[in-house]
Structure formats: structure tokens, C-alpha cells
Chain A
Amino acid sequence: MKACLEFEDILRINRPEISKLREIGDSFESVDQDGACEAFGQQVQLLEGAVIQCYKIAAVVARKKGGDLSEVAEVWEQMSQFCQLALEELRSLKNKYPHCGTAQLYDRVLDYKLAADKRLQAVQEEIECEKRSAIPNGLFPDPS
């Protein structure tokens, strides 16, 4: 039997990178403490890698889902939520750690969230079109 990972599993594996950012951020009273920016910046890089990697997997999974539009929508929605969680942590920490790569990562994650949202919105429109049978029969050939 083949064991298959769902996209949700991939996100679950990567979610601790978000909570670790908070843990490391809270473990220092100030960014001026020895090693604070270094430790925080290192976690910023790990979280950036996690977001980029999850996005790549989302794109591959969405492609494999093909015409199953509701499943495609679910993938992009999960990706968007993952980015949102990261953004919320970054937003609350970027004042405390303004020069440790925080602002750059915030912008990057926001870009990835917008990319996921755009794909989610487009596939939701496709679902609506299908529900309304809006495309005339025979306009397109069979895709097979």
C-alpha cells in the first residue's frame, strides 16, 4: 500500500517554524541582548525556507489535482492560512526585532500569501462558472 502525504501534513510539519519564531522572539528581553538578533535572524531564515518550500509543494499538488476544483481551492486556502499565521507572528515581532530580517520576511510572506489568494479566488470563480453551467456545450474540445 502506498502511503500518501496530504498537503495538510506538509503544513503541519512546517508549522512549528512559526511557533519557534515566537518562542525565540520572547526568549530575549531586548534585541540588544547578546545573540538575540543572531538567533532571531536564524529562525527568520528557517521560516522563510518553510514558506517557500510549502508554496512550491502547493503548486505541485494543485497541478496534480487538475480539474478537481474544490480540492485545488482547498490547497490554496491552506497555503494562504499558513502565510497568514506567519504574518501575524511577524507583525507582532517586527517592532522588537526591526533589523533582523523581519521586515524583509514579512514582505516576502505577504507576496506569497497574495499569490495563494489570487489562485484561490480564480479557482473559486471557476467553481461558480461550473455550477452555473456558464460555458456553452461544445465550445471547447475534450481535454483528453
Chain B
Amino acid sequence: MREEVGDPERLVSRSELEELADLFDRFEFALDPLSAKAREAESEFENKVRQLFSSRIAPKYPDLGLSVFRCGVRTWCRRFLQKSSRQ
């Protein structure tokens, strides 16, 4: 069952991840990777990932590095985008 926004059980909510997936889509799969829009989306994605990591992930998982967290978010975004485009 999908958790709702603000689910206290999740450090990162589905809606936050979906927002990240939207940004990820706009730069990772940009048809023009050199466009300003793609660069802005990437910068915003990176800022949000860093913010989530420092405010919620690092305090609970001190051994988990930012780069590993970023990997997890990126892979989640890929799978989410693939599944949502099939629907």
C-alpha cells in the first residue's frame, strides 16, 4: 500500500521522491543536455538531495554517505519514471 504524504514511518516521503523524479527526468533524460533548463533541474535536484540527506538521513544513518544516498534516489527515480510512463 502506498504511504501518504508525511508518513511518519518514512524518512523520505513518496511525494518528495516523486518531486525528485520529476527533476531527474528533466536533466538525466533531457533531449538537449546542454540546455539551461536541464542544468537548472540538475542543480535543484542536487540541492534537494543534499538537504534531505543532511536533515534526515545522516542523523539516522551516520554510516551512509551522501553519494550512496544519491545513488539510491537516482535508481528509485529511474524505476518510478519507467513504471509511471507505462501506465
> Do B74 and A63 touch (CB < 8 A)?
no
Q: A64: CB under 8 A from chain B?
A: yes
Q: Which residues on the A side are within 8 Å of B73 (C-beta)?
A: 140
> Do A115 and B33 touch (CB < 8 A)?
yes
B: interface residue count bin: 20 to 34
A140 and B83 in contact, given A56-B31, A135-B72 (Cβ under 8 angstroms): no
A69 vs B75: C-alpha distance when bound (angstroms): 8
A: interface residue count bin: 20 to 34
> Do B78 and A72 touch (CB < 8 A)?
yes
Q: Which residues on the A side are within 8 Å of B2 (C-beta)?
A: 141
* A139 touches which of B12, B28, B81 (Cβ 8 Å): B12
A69 vs B30: C-alpha distance when bound (angstroms): 18
* B29 touches which of A62, A130, A136 (Cβ 8 Å): A62
9 pairs, A vs B, C-beta closer than 8 Å: A64-B82, A66-B78, A111-B34, A115-B33, A129-B68, A130-B75, A134-B68, A139-B57, A141-B14
Residues of B within 8 A of A (CB): 2-3, 10-12, 14, 17, 25, 28-34, 57, 61, 64, 67-69, 71-76, 78-83, 85
Known: A63-B29, A119-B28. 13 other contacts (CB 8 A): A55-B33, A60-B29, A62-B28, A64-B82, A66-B79, A66-B83, A69-B78, A111-B33, A112-B33, A115-B34, A126-B75, A139-B72, A140-B72
